[in-house]
Structure 1
Amino acid sequence: MSTLTTRLGVMMFLQFFIWGGWFVTLGTFLGNTLNATGGQIGMAYATQSWGAILAPFVVGLIADRFVNAERLLAILHLGGAVLLYLLYQAADFTAFYPLVLAYMVVYMPTLGLVNAVAFRQLRDPAQQFSKVRVWGTIGWVVAGLVISFVFAWDAQQAIASGALRNTFLLCAVASLVLGLYSFSLPATPPVATQAVGLGRLLGFDALQLLKDRGFATFFVASILICIPLAFYYQNANLFLAEIGVANPTGMMTLGQVSEILFMLLVPVFIRRFGIKKTLLVGMAAWALRYVFFAYGNSGELMSFLIMGIVLHGLCYDFFFVSGQIYTDGKAGESIKSSAQGLITLATYGVGMLIGFWVAGAVSDHYSAEGLHDWQGIWLFPAVLSGLVLLAFLVTFRERETAAAPASQATRGA
């Protein structure tokens, strides 16, 4: 790697190390240390969606017009370090929730900022960006391995003692390091030369794509499939820890490893089988993984849990990354960015917001006296994924065309 790609790779590594270092174990921490209900855990995870909804305002209104992207990145991560330290000190959910909401409003815009810095500095982003972005996934994986195998904060005895609180302190330090490091990144000044309307910031100028039946069907399916997706982010680590799986956070990094591998298969699969079958495989993987979770255990059926985790790459890449490629191919040159913004807002914003609320309600419904009926919890998203798959299979009518060049995923893990 060149000096520039190395510097950008370090930026990506820290960016996703911070996120993976506390977000994966959040449900386990809240349920065991702060005695939060399923609904409260859902509220905490939904702050990601509120951050995603507000992120375009920060990036579009500030970074695109007034402040260098690397400087804004530094300021946001320094502020994030303070908020993470306050989260480390929070004594109950009442104190925790406004802090995590504030943090996600600060953090989510940085996902767009690190991409902006990388794309603007690389001479050939189409060829070089993936080599930089992969370090973000590595950072997420390393965070999980550190938590499980270096500090063992997710061991059952450690969880009972409240050790997962330390993840916020670890990430506060990493955020401080990235904040200071960002000031050393190459200057990335604003490039906007004209007023940016609110509709364009939110991707609303891409709404014209919804006139196309195929895209409209995909758009609705993208929102609906995010509901079962929320179950994985919210419950997987808590589930593994509660049923006695050793090193659950480290084990979940297998999902990110598979994400890298399946990413290589996406363009090949699209060319061979077309976009509809690719999207259907992604949806089917969601249903299958939750069936594995519903019937797996930490004993003789441990292989079911491992297969469910490894399926993460297939779930994410074959639906979300393929969906980005499909959207890029449907959008004209003037609305490509807006179209991606619209899909991101619909999925990680609206879809996940609904999903976390549903996941919290379902978790509470299948819980009694602090114990979870995990089979009932996991079968709900399995059935829902299957229903979305069937609806998409019947309603999606799109003449298969050659896929457009793959857009780089703007969010990993």
Structure 2
Amino acid sequence: MTATIRVKLSIMMFLEFFIWGAWFVTLGTYLLKNLNATGVEVGVAFLTQSIGAIVAPFIIGLIADRFFSAQKILGVLHLAGAVLLWRASLAPDFSSFYPSILTYMILYMPTLALVNSISFRQMQDPQKEFAPIRVLGTLGWIVAGLTIGWLNWEQTNSLQATFTMAAVASAILGVFSFTLPATPPVKKGQSSSLGDLLGLDAIGMLKNQSYLIFFLASIAICIPLAFYYGFTNPFLNEVGMKSAAGVQSLGQVSELLFMLAIPLFFSKLGVKKMLAIGMGAWVLRYVFFAYGNADANYWMLIAGIVLHGVCYDFFFVTGQIYTDNLAGEQFKSSAQGFITLATYGVGMLIGTLLSGRIFDSYQLSADSHDWRMIWLIPAGIAGVVLLLFLLLFRERRQAAAAEPDVALGSAPSMAQAK
């Protein structure tokens, strides 16, 4: 990979996650304070992410793998997204806000798989090359959070400006995408079944029992993740943390540092331990939130935020690389869309519906909630998922060439790659 391509991919990752972090972190606070939404409505708003993730494999499988170059699709989606984010910033109430953000997330979520696919197609050794590029995405999210905190938008009820900022960045990435390395469809002109055309060819990966356990764990662990995305910012603001969005960026700083160390962790720990540590960090984070406060236990709030790096990198980034290794050249785009379906789709869909109801159930007054119970529930869910994963997942360290993990291509399994 040339230096020019590396720089372009890094800029792509920075903008991709700057856009998301620019409005997503403070969405719950914006809806509750500016649009007077209920907890259920907050959950419904975050549910748009899941709807977009469920649609993503179909868009990727139908278009990116077969008809158009991935970088061109990325550009079109982000240009359209810029218009939708601008419209969302002008919405006076939840009913007019929701259609814009729903349509936007249907267009945005496929781009998460696209940026991964574009990056992986330029790499010879993703285990070593992906993390240093993906870390720029984390930096983009950090810069977005720090900008919100620096401009004091949370305290001045000016969070509608976050959507305008994201719209500008989306327009920039939309134009920039057309300069990215050509990533043509790998199955152009091939005859396919209806299932193949919809991107469901990656379902064959579930024939691998270990990958099936990982896939199911990905769905289950994203149920508690929905609590973090939807209600951490309202929680921190309610308990009195100043510039909460800026402080939350410490989670991305942690993510950045751990991501740079992922190649070392891979060689020392292996897949199962990496994934288990990530899930264990989820349990600990929610326990810290349950017992933390803005006084003597302020350190628990900070620790819970900083643990985000372990939660995200050890599970999601590990899972993306694990998926890429198993997929084979013909299925890289579909496979990334497929794991997006499991995590941000099905898992987050269940989690957003559950978290909104729990938030409303533990409301004590107009401006206070029983946050201890709100956080102990996802901690318990994450603990059960971790226990079942440890019991059922088997990492094959000595996979023989005659017995490949999946029959989807010639790429080595994670065990063989090690």
Determine helix, strand or coil for the equivalent of 1:163.
Answer: coil
8 Å CA contact retained: 1:88, 1:165: yes
Q: Alpha carbons of 1:342 and 1:306: their partners in 2 closer, same or farther (altered >3 Å)?
A: same
Aligned to 1:226: 222
Q: Alpha carbons of 1:347 and 1:119: their partners in 2 closer, same or farther (altered >3 Å)?
A: closer
Aligned to 1:410: none
Q: CA RMSD in A?
A: 2.8
Q: Distance in 2 between matches of 1:220 and 1:189?
A: 31
Q: 1:392 aligns with which of 385, 389, 393?
A: 389
Q: Distance in 1 between matches of 2:219 and 2:69?
A: 33
8 Å CA contact retained: 1:325, 1:406: no
8 Å CA contact retained: 1:202, 1:342: no
**One-letter code aligned to 1:393:** L
**1:193-212 matches, cutoff 5 A:** 193-200=189-196, 204-212=200-208
* Offset at residue 341 of structure 1 (A): 3.9
* Offset at residue 356 of structure 1 (A): 0.9
Matched, 1:152 2:165: no
**One-letter code aligned to 2:158:** A
Aligned to 1:377: 374
Aligned to 1:30: 31
Q: Alpha carbons of 1:2 and 1:406: their partners in 2 closer, same or farther (altered >3 Å)?
A: farther
Q: 2:163 aligns with which of 160, 168, 174?
A: 168
Determine helix, strand or coil for the equivalent of 2:36.
Answer: coil
* Offset at residue 268 of structure 1 (A): 3.9
* Offset at residue 87 of structure 1 (A): 0.4
**One-letter code aligned to 2:25:** V
For structure 1, the 5+ residue unaligned runs are: 408-413
Matched, 1:12 2:27: no
Higher mean C-alpha deviation, range 350-359 or range 74-83: 74-83
8 Å CA contact retained: 1:259, 1:317: yes
Q: Distance in 2 between matches of 1:340 and 1:70?
A: 15
Q: Alpha carbons of 1:305 and 1:76: their partners in 2 closer, same or farther (altered >3 Å)?
A: same
Aligned to 1:73: 74
Aligned to 2:275: 279
Aligned to 2:402: none
For structure 2, the 5+ residue unaligned runs are: 400-412
Higher mean C-alpha deviation, range 89-98 or range 63-72: 63-72
Q: 2:302 aligns with which of 306, 312, 315?
A: 306
Q: Distance in 2 between matches of 1:406 and 1:48?
A: 34
8 Å CA contact retained: 2:210, 2:394: yes
**1:121-136 matches, cutoff 5 A:** 122=122, 124=124, 126=126, 128-136=129-137
Report the TM-score when normalising by structure 2. 0.86
* Offset at residue 216 of structure 1 (A): 3.2
**One-letter code aligned to 2:165:** L
8 Å CA contact retained: 2:275, 2:318: yes
* Offset at residue 351 of structure 1 (A): 0.9
Aligned to 1:411: none
Q: Distance in 2 between matches of 1:205 and 1:299?
A: 53
Q: Distance in 1 between matches of 2:225 and 2:262?
A: 19
Per-residue CA deviation, residues 291-328 of structure 1 (Å, 9 max, x unaligned), is 00011111221110111011111112222233344445
Q: Distance in 1 between matches of 2:192 and 2:313?
A: 31
Runs of 4+ in 1 over 6 A off after TM superposition: none
Report the TM-score when normalising by structure 1. 0.87
Q: Distance in 2 between matches of 1:319 and 1:380?
A: 20
Percent of pairs with identical residues = 57
Higher mean C-alpha deviation, range 2-11 or range 224-233: 2-11
